Amino acid sequence: MVSEKDVQQETAEKVKAEAVEETEETAENAAQQEKSTEAEAVNWQQQAEEAEDKYLRLRAEFDNYRRRIQKENETLQKYRAQNVVTGILPALDNFERALNIETTNDESASLLKGMQMVHSSLLEALKAEGVEIIESTGQQFDPNLHQAVMQVSEEGYESNTVIEELQKGYKLKDRVIRPSMVKVNE
Amino acid sequence: MVSEKDVQQETAEKVKAEAVEETEETAENAAQQEKSTEAEAVNWQQQAEEAEDKYLRLRAEFDNYRRRIQKENETLQKYRAQNVVTGILPALDNFERALNIETTNDESASLLKGMQMVHSSLLEALKAEGVEIIESTGQQFDPNLHQAVMQVSEEGYESNTVIEELQKGYKLKDRVIRPSMVKVNE
Q: What is the pLDDT along chain B (186 residues), one digit of tens a residue?
A: 556 777 777 877 787 788 778 777 777 777 787 788 888 888 989 999 999 999 999 999 999 999 999 999 999 999 999 999 999 999 999 999 999 989 999 999 999 999 999 999 999 999 999 999 999 999 999 999 999 999 999 888 889 999 999 999 999 999 999 999 999 998
Beta bridge partners of A104: none
Beta-carbon separation of A94 and B117 below 8 A:
yes
- In chain A, the residue whose alpha carbon lies closest to the alpha carbon of B102 is A107
Cβ-count burial of B147 within 10 angstroms (0-12 exposed, 13-18 middle, 19+ buried)?
A: middle
Distance CA B81, CA B157 (A): 37
| ipTM of predicted complex | 0.76
Q: What is the band of A2 on the pLDDT scale with cuts at 50, 70, 90?
A: low
User: Span A50-79, mean pLDDT?
Assistant: 95
Q: Give A60 to chain B, closest Cα distance, Å.
A: 11
Q: Give A115 to chain B, closest Cα distance, Å.
A: 7
CA atoms within 13 A on the CB side of B56: 6
Sheet of A170-172, strands arranged across: A131-133, A170-172, A175-178
Interface of A with B in 120-159 (CB under 8 A): 121-122, 124-126, 128-129
CA distances from A85 to A76, A111, B84, B119, B171 (A): 14, 26, 8, 15, 18
pLDDT digits (tens, 9 = 90+) for A131-170: 999 999 999 999 999 999 999 998 888 899 999 999 999 9
SS (H, E, C) B43-105: HHHHHHHHHHHHHHHHHHHHHHHHHHHHHHHHHHHHCCCHHHHHHHHHHHHHHHHHHCCCCCC
**Pick from B122, B100, B175: nearest CA to A122:** B122
More confident site: B70 or A15: B70
- In chain A, the residue whose alpha carbon lies closest to the alpha carbon of B47 is A48
CA distances from A132 to A74, A94, A124, A178 (A): 20, 18, 9, 11
- Dmax (CA) of chain B: 157
Interface of B with A in 76-95 (CB under 8 A): 76-77, 80-81, 83-85, 87-88, 90-91, 94-95
